[in-house]
Amino acid sequence: MTFTRVTTLLAVVASAHLTLAQELTGDGGMPPFSPVTWERLLNAADEPQNWLMYSGTFDGQRFSRLDQIDTGNVDGLKLVWAHHIPQLDRNETTPLVVDGVMFITESPSNVTAVDAATGRPYWRYEHELPDDLRVCCGRNNRGVAILDETLYMSTLDAHVVGIDARSGSLLWNTEVANYQEGYSKTAAPLIVKDKVITGIAGGEFGIRGFLDAYDAKTGTRDWRTYTIPGPDHPDNRSWAGDSWRTGGSPTWITGSYDPELNLIYWGTGNPGPDYKGDIRGGDNLYADSVLALDGDTGEMSWYFQFTPHDVHDWDAIQIPVLADIEVDGKPRKAMLWANRNAFYYTLDRETGEFLVGKSFARQTWAEGLDDNGRPIRRPGKLPTVEGTLVAPTAGGATNWWSPAFSPRTGLLYVNAFDGEANFYIRDEEYTAGDRYTGGGTDAPLPIDNYMSAIRAIEPATGDIRWEFPMEARSRAGVLATAGDVVFSGTVDGYFYALDARTGEELWHIALGGRMNASPMTYAVGGRQYVTMPSGNVVYTFALDN
């Protein structure tokens, strides 16, 4: 074959590829998939047609500037396509959308790329997993991160992988921790500059938590910050004896990032064993906290612990929501946090200073928060051998599913639960890689006796502006848009839209399957879409053309 013939053939192939790409996007005039640079990630809010990271933008607001779908027309939403996931496990994914291509993670540790306008597939990457995995809470994955043309995904065997976004080919595969010691990974990583920031799960298996940064090109580890300090650090004394070695404090949901302050914010989970706290006397730092870490080195700038010496499994595994608001007449770079322990907090994200705190859901364990935001515990609420009735439940007043903040309304939207449980303790020996909880919980009444709700919280006061009640217990996150619409889902299979200012119901559709994920929105060819997983199907809606 001559050089001329080769170049002609390449030109034909390239031309066919371009035509195919345009056709597959469902919009011949749309630019094809282009690399997602660090600059694009920094300015993700300016390209609302794309959803470039787990929470949409680095501030964790899960707010979109798209406004084609608004309070006046949302009741005209129609199903456009559905993507069926082969596995039946809980579907907790938030897809990414880049220039008309959607990336959906699937149980257990797979990812597929589809045309975002039609739902039709390009490729699927299936991660090979060992047979002897032991994970606490299902074989789930919540999403990928992207930088340039590479996707980054956590896997259940505690690896992080780099995958070519155009072809689905594996580029690198790095072991983060030994899964046989109880470590696993489920959360979407976060890109900060040229690094992949990613956490770890395993708080029910006696792990020692950490947050890692990996080189995005090579997958080699750049830094690790343990969420339980070692014996060379004074805060290690917040753990009795050697309990810090098996103290949990995992990092199993995605954090946020402030580029101006160059701080990464990340929540930490429960100390272990979950319920039997007498063997880990002390505050158990930095479990159930938010950590502010240097974006280049991972060095800790400050921490705030929501639940010192937790014995109710109230992980601070929520999305740190960053917003610039006014508190007591003073502008603040704030962090908004509705916690699993039933208290809402506003913190100063530069310093970690506690600004506002108030319960946003039913709780019986604390009189309130003191001036520093530390809970004032009520006596008689610790787990016992016989069981102690406490609100909220171990699953908490909220959990990992995303809240949303609308800069247009100034409200934080949270999926809340007013439940209660009997907490009990049991003796349990630690064995590496096995469950290590030291007790559990029982439901005193059928779940029909309790209620979930979307609550709209004013960050400057912690007051609840409105609520929208649902059957218990909803496990869906919330999306807010510039159309002043709030989207969420129910445990009984509804996807719905509320007026962001009033909480009035505007639209709902029965999809049938329980919702365990957070909705997201994007646009292709000038048409806005809204996506929500239900059961093991990913549904996408839009207005009629």
Partner 1 sequence: MGNWKPSHVGTLPLAMILLLGLTFWGARADAQETENPFTGPVDVRIGERLFEAQCSNCHGLAGTGNPEAGGPDLTTGRFRTASTDAGLFRVVREGIPGTSMIGIKRNSSDQAVWQVVTYLESLNPADSLDNLPGSATAGRQLFEGKGNCGRCHIVNGSGGRLGPDLSQVGERRPQTDLRSDLTDPNAEVDPRWWTLTVTQEDGSVVQGLRMHEDSFSLRLMDEQEGLRSFSKSQIRSFERDKNSTMPAYRSLTATEQDDLITYLLNLRREQ
Residues serving a catalytic function are: 313
| Nearer CB in complex with partner 1: 379/446 | 446
DSSP secondary structure code for residue 188 in this structure: P
89 in contact with partner 1 (CB under 8 A): yes
Residue showing tokens 């779940």: 447
Segment 182 to 241, residues that bind partner 1, using CB under 8 A: 204
Residue 234 and residue 53: Cα distance in Å, rounded? Answer: 36
| Residue placing its CB nearer to partner 1 in the complex, 308 or 433 | 433
Q: Could you write out the three-class secondary structure of 200-239?
A: CECCCCCCECEEEEEECCCCCEEEEEECCCCCCCHHHHHC
Of 490, 521, 534, 540, the one binding partner 1 (CB under 8 A) is: 490
- Closest distance of CB 16 from partner 1, Å: 40
327 within 8 A of 355, measured Cβ to Cβ: yes
Letter for the amino acid at 526?
Answer: G
Residue of 83, 381, 473, 527 interacting with partner 1 (CB under 8 A): 473
Residue 248 has what DSSP assignment? B
Cα gap 278→221, rounded to integer Å: 35
What's the CA angle centered on 224, arms 218 and 230, to 5 degrees? 155
Count residues contacting partner 1 (CB under 8 A)?
51
Nearer to partner 1 among residue 41 and residue 317 (C-beta): 317
For the bound state, the minimum distance from the C-beta of residue 532 to partner 1, rounded and expressed in Å, comes to: 14
CA–CA distances in Å: residue 178 to residues 74, 136, 146, 171, 444: 47, 15, 25, 21, 37
Q: Which of 134, 221, 358, 465 contacts partner 1 by CB under 8 A?
A: 134
Binding to partner 1 (CB under 8 A) within 395-454 occurs at 395, 419, 421-422, 424, 426-428, 431, 433-435, 437, 439-443, 446-449
Strand partners, 289: 305
Min dist. Cβ of residue 297 to partner 1 (A): 37
CA distance 55 to 113: 19
The two three-digit tokens of residue 82, written as one number: 């559905």
CB of 447 to partner 1, least distance (A): 5
535 near partner 1, rule: CB under 8 A: no
Q: What angle do CA 101, 105, 108 make, to 5 degrees?
A: 155
DSSP state of 46: G
Taking CB under 8 A as the binding criterion, the range among 68-76, 229-237, 360-368, 390-398 that sits at the site for partner 1 is 390-398
Q: Which stretch binds partner 1 (CB under 8 A): 135-143, 245-253, 282-290, 326-334?
A: 135-143
Residue 195 contacts residue 148 (beta carbons within 8 Å): no
Q: Give 26 or 433: the residue with its C-beta nearer to partner 1.
A: 433
Q: How far is the CB of 496 from partner 1 (least distance, A)?
A: 8
Smallest gap from residue 471 Cβ to partner 1 (A): 5
Which stretches of the chain bind partner 1, using CB under 8 A?
87-89, 131, 134-139, 204, 274, 387, 393-395, 419, 421-422, 424, 426-428, 431, 433-435, 437, 439-443, 446-449, 469-471, 473-474, 490-494, 496, 505, 508, 510
